[in-house]
Amino acid sequence: MQKLIILIVLFLCAPSITAQTLQVSIGQDIRMAYEGPYYNKANDIGPTWNIEGRILLELEKWRLWTAYEVHQEINYTKWTFLALDYSIKNFPIRNTTVYGGVEISEILRTEVKDYHPSRDHSNFLLGINGEIKYRPNKSAVGISISASIFQAEMSLRQYKEYRTEVFFNVIIDIFELNRE
């Protein structure tokens, strides 16, 4: 509940800064789309859907966002409850924006072994992210490639410390606020 309150306060305070754009985004993890989660392993299940939805508030030089990711085939959900990115517009190509920032997430993973469900609920996982977004001139729709490196959930720490993800996203402007 504390995370939700912090998120609401930040999104309510942000409109008092300068011009902003509220956006929504939906994306698919590229590796899961063509390999799947257990590629070349005994339990390989093939390509799967790993969908992420985001709500973004874009300021002049900063972007604040939250995201929810679901991968049903492996009972995995990730909530990035707060991410802050710095943006560089028109770099390196016209109509592109490059972002880099930090994120704080939580992961919930449920597994059933021998008819006994086990839950791994890992809070406050830190990560870094980057994104390149292209939006045609005066268009409300854009596309992007985003990547994240973040701490793995507790059940995976014996195998690896960090997770990586790369998503292809479609971003849509909901509305733009101009404050003067």
pLDDT tens-digit map of 90-117 = 788 889 999 999 999 998 888 766 555 5
What range defines the domain where residue 75 resides?
2-177
In the predicted structure, residue 161 carries a pLDDT above the cut 70: yes
Which parts of 65-160 fold into alpha helices (H)? none
* Position 15 confidence tier, pLDDT thresholds 50, 70, 90: low
Q: How far is Cα of residue 45 from the mean position of the Cα atoms in its chain?
A: 24
Higher-confidence residue of 80 and 158: namely 80
Contact 167, 150 (CB under 8 A): no
- How many independent structural domains does the chain possess? 1
| Model confidence band, residue 155 (pLDDT cutoffs 50, 70, 90) | confident
Q: Is the pTM of this model over 0.85?
A: no
Contact 98, 88 (CB under 8 A): yes
List, for residues 27-76, the tens digit of each pLDDT value.
999 999 999 887 788 877 889 999 999 999 998 899 999 999 999 888 88
Query: For the purposes of burial, counting CB atoms within 10 Å of the CB of 156, is it exposed (0-12), middle (13-18) or buried (19 or more)?
Result: middle
CATH number of the domain residue 152 falls in: 2.40.160.20
Q: Write down the pLDDT at residue 6.
A: 61
Does 134 have pLDDT greater than 80?
Answer: yes
Sequential DSSP letters for 4-73? HHHHHHHHHHGGGSS-EEEEEEEEEEHHHHHT-TTTTSTT-------EEEEEEEE-SSEEEEEEEEEEGG
Mean pLDDT of 82-90: 92
